[in-house]
Structures are given as C-alpha cells and as structure tokens.
Amino acid sequence: MRADVGRWAGMTIEMREGYEGTGPGAITPDGCAVELYSRLPVGEEPDIIASAVPAGAHILELGSGVGRMTHPLLERGFTVTAVDESAEMLERVRGARTIRGAIETLDLDEKFDVVMLASFLVHAGDVEVRRGMLDVCRSHVADGGCVLIQREGENYHTDLPRERHDPSGFTIRMLSAEPVGDGVNSVRAEYAFPDAVWTQTFLARPLSKEEFEGALGEAGLRVDRYLTEDRVWVRAVPVEA
C-alpha cells in the first residue's frame, strides 16, 4: 500500500508502506533523501563495476538515484541509461538518458550489455517486487551480457547498532533491524552531517547465499562470479536455454 506524500509535475508521489525518511529536502517513496544522496561520496563501486564489464559497455542502471555511481561510470567511458521512480532524483543526473518508472515493471524494447541492480534493492521486502526486478534484469540483458547486483553483507542485519565515520565528515549509523513478519526486517539508518541529519526506515528481506542464488535461478540467471571477497557484488549471467 502507498500513501501520498506530495506532488511533482502534476504526478502524485506516494510513500511505500513500511518506508520512511526524515531530514531536509525531498524524500523518495522508499525513504531516500535526495539531498543526502547528492552529498554521499562514491566509493570503490565504479572500479568494481568497470573490472567486470567490457570497456564502453551500455549499462542499464536500475535505481540510479541522483547519479552517484552514474557520473563516475560516464567518466570512465560507459554509456548509462538511468532508471528511477523519483523525478527529483533523476533531475540531478547529468549526461545519461533517464527513465522514470518502477524497476519491477520496466519494459523497454531494448537489450543492454550490462544491467545493474545495486543499493541492496534485491532485498526488497515484497517477494513479488524482488521477482519483478530480477525478471527485468533478465529480460533487458543482451546475449553475452551480464547483470551486476549489489547484495547485503553477511552481518548486515545482526551486527547492530554499528557506525562508520566517513573521512569526508559524516557518520552512518545502522541503528536497528526489527522483524516485522514473513522474514522481513524494518531497518533504520541515520546519516549525520555537521549541519543536517537524515534517517531512513525501510523493509529488507535478508537472503542467505543459497536463497539469493535461488532467487537468481527463478529469474533465469546464475552467478558467474562474486566480484568482492565479502560477496556483496555479484556478476550474474543468463542461464543457457
């Protein structure tokens, strides 16, 4: 279920049930703050992605936000099509084609060298949303292409509370993960900057390695290789027919 939280360009923006965000500026239906994502620095993600795909590939980036990863990928010579349901996020993307819409129902008459589903979106609380997202990854990847997924680390829901001080001057706190039934947790995170604090509450379904690989299999995908030691970044490929 969704509740209205505002309007943009005549379209109603709705907040997803179980998701919430606080802090300055616009908040997306899944509780992300546009201003926060404009400030968050990018880490090693673009290098991990670049190491796993052909130079100059066309990447379909699902859930791009403001382009935190899009922009460094463009700088590395990739072409990016950025998809997000938030117009306010997409407004800040520069140099990439943008498409506004829900990932799980995306139906472009096009295939891409690389489809990317980052930011733990594969842990959607709603199994049907997760299925839809992985089906979209499979249906939009070209023959010989690959799907890159960023999944949660092993202790994401258990090693709590925890915090990380970023050298650029803010602190991320993962505060709690409370079970809300059906294997789903309500996760609460806080991002504290010297001049502003944002929080996000969202639903996430922990997936063991086996459960994750099973979900890929249902969508006609299989792990080609884990790209990082912690198995957070995954390169998947279509299962041969």
Ligand X SMILES: C[S@@+](CC[C@H](N)C(=O)[O-])C[C@H]1O[C@@H](n2cnc3c(N)ncnc32)[C@H](O)[C@@H]1O
Contact positions toward ligand X, by CB under 6 A? Answer: 28, 30, 32, 37, 63-65, 68-69, 84-86, 89, 102-104, 118-119, 121
**Per-residue exposure over 195-223, b if at least 16 CB sit within 10 Å of its own CB, e if not:** eebbbbbbbbbbbeeeebeebbeebbbeb
Give the CB-nearest residue to ligand X. Answer: 65
User: 94 or 239, CB closer to ligand X?
Assistant: 94
For ligand X, the closer of residues 73 and 118 by Cβ is 118
Min dist CB 141 to ligand X, Å, is: 18
Q: In what order do the strands lie in the sheet with 20-22?
A: 20-22, 196-204, 184-193, 170-181, 162-166
| Nearer residue to ligand X within complex by CB, 69 or 221 | 69
Q: What angle do CA 50, 40, 215 make, to 5 degrees?
A: 55
Task: Report the nearest approach of ligand X to the CB of residue 32 (Å).
Answer: 4
Beta-sheet strands, E only, within 141-232: 141-150, 162-166, 170-181, 184-193, 196-204, 221-226
Distance CA 179, CA 41 (A): 30
We find the least distance from the C-beta atom of residue 117 to ligand X, in angstroms, to be 9
Instruction: Closer to ligand X by CB, 42 or 160: give it.
Output: 42
* Residue 28 or 201 with smaller CB distance to ligand X: 28
Phi, psi of 213 (to 5 degrees): -65, -35
Residue with Cβ nearer ligand X (110 or 239) = 110
Note whether 145 and 111 are within 8 A (CB): yes
Q: Phi and psi (nearest 5°) for 232?
A: -80, -45
Minimum CB separation of residue 140 from ligand X in Å reads 14
Write the CB contacts of 70 (distance below 8 Å, at least 6 apart in sequence).
61, 64, 80, 82, 93, 95, 96
